[in-house]
A and B are shown apart, each in its own frame.
Chain A
Amino acid sequence: MGSGELRYEIAQNAYIKLVLHALKHKAAAVNGVLLGRHSDRGEAVEVLDAVPLFHSHLGLLPNLEISLLLIEEYYGSKGMSIVGYFHANERYDDTELGGVARNIGDHIFRYFPQAALLLLDNKKLEALSNGKDRSPVMQLYTRDSSKNWKLVSSDGSNRLITKEPSANVVLLDYISSGKWHDVFDFDDHLDDITKDWLNPDLFK
């Protein structure tokens, strides 16, 4: 089965963690990896967790390599693998999937051919407080047969959904309480190893 009809279901905690990370570093580009597995019947990819990676120098390899090694080792023992990548651009009106995101996506694709690239949709995020939309504030890209990352249209296709339908409500709540302060990424960890990139207590 190609990625043509595959659905991507992202767990609420993973989704919220990524958006909060982007909100913590409003003036920078940020990225993260998606962890998960195929669903039992193979009709969807379940994104069960996410790790926020960096908020500076996204285009440099050493920190990326170390983070991916540690992340793969940790989640591998829990039966999950890296199933995708999240990216938020530096500027509000930049809706393009840049070279860095595509290259990292290509690398992840080599190990997981149904990998998803998620790009933060700033306009949707801003409109979130209107309260009506249940769809994730992200754009979904998958690899097509000509090896390009193509935007999956969100018109009625529902190929990217949050597992819990009220995820956006919870997200809005966390945003208003400034929860993003508590999110730690790999950059934070490398600067101070006592900061945990697993964010185990974030949603307690």
Chain B
Amino acid sequence: MVTKSEEDQLNRLESQVDNGGGGEWEYLCLVRKLKVRRPDKVLKHGLAILNDFKKRSALGTEDWTLCEQVAIAAMDCQCLDVAKDCIKVLRKRFPDSKRVGRLEGMLLEAKGLWAEAEKAYSSFLEDNPFDQVIHKRRVAVAKAQGNISTAIECLNKYLDTFMADNDAWRELAEIYVSLQMYKQAAFCYEELILSQPTNPLYHIAYADVLYTNGGIENLQAAKKYYASAINLTGGKNQRALFGVCLCTSAIGQLSKGRNKDDKESPELQALAVAALEKDYKQGAPDKLPLLTSTLKSLRVSS
């Protein structure tokens, strides 16, 4: 997961490189570090370096890392010939490498040869049952074929062993959300929050799932998690601010006619509304009247 400042930095570098201002290697390293998916840019700029003898020699031994990065980007863009060439070169340089073997497996996936890919991965796992990347490739193979239940099964089994893999928990949560299995998604986000309690994005995702699941207890819990996200982000995250408004309105609707003592205090919502209006006044002033009247209608219905 990438923070806004990291993404801004990446985008700045990207437009610098696109406009011929140099910095290609820096850009490619940042893409690798942040683990973002920008295959068309990586392919274009990475290949330019690889094909330029001077630029490539300047990298020293790092050019093999670049070769691997370009191979994967090429597969993502379905430029399978480029990928094949990169992998051939890597295989020649590292004849016994399992890492190159992984790339060969991915090439089979890119070609849609699922059975062969699965066979390759299974044999890798026989030699080394703790290869995390290969386990996850098998999940990818299942997902790509549309066998979502197999993917879920594989991921759950993987997480039984490698329960600290946050990327895997996030992937599982997203699969559950796409299938509208909200209780299971909530469980994944709970694991993520336990693992990284100060990451506001997990608090917000968890609150989103609780809200979607519905019911007054879930809504009250969701409101708490939106509030904690506001706390963690210094009130700068609009999703959390909107979340608080929605929760207050929904809780108000559900508790109409109930005991007045159960009524929530309106201060949190008022503060959230004020924060949103301040942000919009500064960032999107033409949308401010629209925002104000929409939030007002939310308050009226609560």
- Cα(A62)–Cα(B294), bound, Å: 14
Contacts of A91 in B (CB 8 A): 144, 146
Chain-A contact segment, one of B20-28, B61-69, B207-215: B207-215
Contacts of B297 in A (CB 8 A): 69, 73
Inter-subunit contact B290/A194 (CB<8 Å):
no
Give residues in B with beta carbon < 8 Å to A.
4, 37, 144, 146, 174, 177-180, 205, 207-209, 211-212, 238-239, 242-243, 246, 279-280, 283-284, 287, 290-291, 293-294, 297-298
- Given contact pairs A57-B205, A65-B246, A66-B246, A193 touches B178 in the complex (Cβ within 8 A): no
- Given contact pairs A63-B239, A190-B239, A193-B284, A73 touches B4 in the complex (Cβ within 8 A): no
Contacts of A60 in B (CB 8 A): 177, 208-209, 211-212
A59-B180, A61-B208, A193-B279 are known contacts; what are 7 more A-B pairs with Cβ within 8 Å?
A29-B178, A62-B207, A63-B208, A73-B297, A192-B4, A192-B283, A196-B284
Q: Does A202 interact with chain B (Cβ within 8 Å)?
A: no
Contacts of A73 in B (CB 8 A): 290, 293-294, 297
Contacts of A94 in B (CB 8 A): 146
Nearest chain-B residue to A56 (Cβ)? B174
Question: Could you show 27 A-B contacts with beta carbons less than 8 Å apart?
Answer: A27-B37, A56-B174, A59-B177, A59-B178, A59-B179, A59-B212, A60-B208, A60-B209, A60-B212, A61-B208, A61-B211, A61-B212, A62-B239, A62-B246, A63-B239, A66-B294, A69-B297, A69-B298, A73-B297, A74-B290, A90-B178, A190-B238, A190-B239, A192-B4, A193-B279, A193-B280, A193-B287
Inter-subunit contact B177/A57 (CB<8 Å):
yes
Contacts of B246 in A (CB 8 A): 62, 65-66
Inter-subunit contact B178/A58 (CB<8 Å):
yes
- Cα(A9)–Cα(B293), bound, Å: 31
Q: How large is the interface on A (under 10, 10 to 19, 20 to 34, 35 or more residues)?
A: 20 to 34
- Cα(A62)–Cα(B214), bound, Å: 11
Min CB distance, B10 to chain A, in Å?
14
- Cα(A61)–Cα(B146), bound, Å: 24
Contact of A62 among B4, B177, B208, B291 (CB under 8 A): B208
- Cα(A16)–Cα(B276), bound, Å: 31
Give residues in A with beta carbon < 8 Å to B.
27, 29, 56-63, 65-66, 69-70, 73-74, 90-91, 93-94, 98-100, 103, 190-194, 196
Contacts of B238 in A (CB 8 A): 190, 193
How many residue pairs link A and B with beta carbons under 8 A? The number is 75
Contact of A194 among B205, B243, B283, B293 (CB under 8 A): B283
- Cα(A62)–Cα(B293), bound, Å: 18
Which residue of A56, A62, A190, A193 has the most chain B CB atoms within 10 A of its CB atom? A62
Inter-subunit contact A70/B291 (CB<8 Å):
yes
Nearest chain-A residue to B208 (Cβ)? A60
Min CB distance, B199 to chain A, in Å?
16
Min CB distance, B216 to chain A, in Å?
15
Min CB distance, B50 to chain A, in Å?
23
Contacts of A27 in B (CB 8 A): 37
Min CB distance, B283 to chain A, in Å?
4
Inter-subunit contact B180/A100 (CB<8 Å):
yes
Contacts of B4 in A (CB 8 A): 191-192
Min CB distance, B275 to chain A, in Å?
12
- Cα(A42)–Cα(B284), bound, Å: 37
- Cα(A93)–Cα(B242), bound, Å: 36
Contacts of B298 in A (CB 8 A): 69
Contacts of A58 in B (CB 8 A): 177-178
Contacts of A90 in B (CB 8 A): 178
Contact of B242 among A29, A57, A190, A192 (CB under 8 A): A190
